[in-house]
Amino acid sequence: MLFLFGLLASVPVSARPLVAIVDSGISRTPQLANVLVGEYDMAGKRPLYHPRYDHGTMVATILNREAQGAVDIVSIRIDDAAGCPSDRSPPCQPSSRPIVAAIDKAVSLGVDAINLSLALADDPAITDAVRRASDKGIIVVMAAGNDGRNHPDNTAMARAGFPRAVLVGATDEAGNPWTGSNRPDADDYLYVWRRGVDVPTISATGQRVFGTGTSFAAPIETARRVLAKTHEMAALAGTH
């Protein structure tokens, strides 16, 4: 059974763009307190803003910094309540159901973008959820994965959400592809490179840390796409 727990009754209506971070939960650190508008837990019934792992907070901090504080964030928590096995890195979730539920919840909230910094292998249910989100005009940004292969595992999802879905690979600070990043193998889906090596961020306890992996490249792309979409809509409305 999936539980919805602890969103502050509803996400406040705002003129600011709204991004859903589907991850391990987010801590309400000083850096995020003004932009984190709520949290849903799709894989348990756990206290608000008390994640077991740092991952979601690190991702949210990077996104917030790249967006210069100009977007609101809703946390949609999907990490397994049982925790990660010793050979897996968080956030881990063996079932597709919480991830599908998270994407659909983000759609129902009317978000502008969904950030999926998860280890995703192509799954028909998740692929369909990405397609549904894209059909609603929502940007879907996915980490390309950290296996160092020449083929990402989630290309079906990228194709299903084209042109609003994108895979993100990781580079170092100089722009060189990181050896651990899964690389693109075709041109019928979107793939971009963003910095994902030693990216400065903040842990769930508020400590300064560094993240390496495509998980930490993805929120940079999410922020850039959301801001670009916002500027485009403002220009069409004649406000710029």
23, 54, 72, 80: the catalytic one is: 23
Cβ neighbourhood burial of 204 (10 Å; 0-12, 13-18, 19+): buried
The yes-or-no answer on residue 215 being catalytic is yes
Contact 56, 111 (CB under 8 A): no
Closest CA to 218 of 151, 152, 129: 152
The yes-or-no answer on residue 23 being catalytic is yes
The yes-or-no answer on residue 10 being catalytic is no
Contact 125, 110 (CB under 8 A): no
**Strand 72-77 to 165-171 pairing:** unpaired
27, 55, 112, 117: the catalytic one is: 55
Closest CA to 226 of 116, 107, 114: 114
134, 181, 203, 215: the catalytic one is: 215
Which residues are the active-site residues? 23, 55, 215
